[in-house]
Amino acid sequence: MKETRLGEFEEVLLLLVGILGEEAYAFKIAEEFEGQTKRAVSIGAVHSTLNRLLEKGFLTSEMGSSSPERGGRRKRIYTITAHGSRILSDSRDFKVSLWNQYPGFANG
């Protein structure tokens, strides 16, 4: 059985893959992470986390076309799977439920 839990960093990267769409490749994801969180991240941490998300079945990837800016190298583009979308939705719902139970922020 595949792992279905998401760590915080995994969740953020998964969300960024969804936000970036066709531009969701490791370097761009790292750049977006730093821009959104104002925290540094190593490209190695991004790669290892993306690989873990692939293994869990939350992402798929395919090689994009090569570009002169990258010296003819191709980018690996990541896409969220239906399973990954469900996991994100479940994670969001769980956190909203917790926030709604917290007396200082409860709705009502």
Q: What distance lies between CA 36 and its chain's CA centroid?
A: 13
- Extract the tokens encoding 51: 């690989």
**Integer CA distances (angstroms), 8 to 27, 89, 92, in order:** 19, 14, 12
* 29 contacts 20 by C-beta, under 8 angstroms: yes
Query: Where do the structural domains in the chain lie, given as residue ranges?
Result: 8-101
Instruction: Kindly report, residue by residue over 32-80, the tens digit of the pLDDT.
Output: 999 999 999 999 999 999 999 999 999 999 998 777 776 677 899 999 9
Give the pLDDT confidence of 93-106 residue by residue, as tens digits. Answer: 999 999 999 988 76
Instruction: State the DSSP code for 31.
Output: H
pLDDT band at 1 (very low <50, low <70, confident <90, very high): very low
pTM of the model: 0.85
| Nearest CA among 26, 1, 3 for reference residue 13 | 26
**pLDDT interval class at 2 (50, 70, 90):** low
Residue 29 has pLDDT above 90, yes or no: yes
Note the CATH number of domain 8-101.
Answer: 1.10.10.10
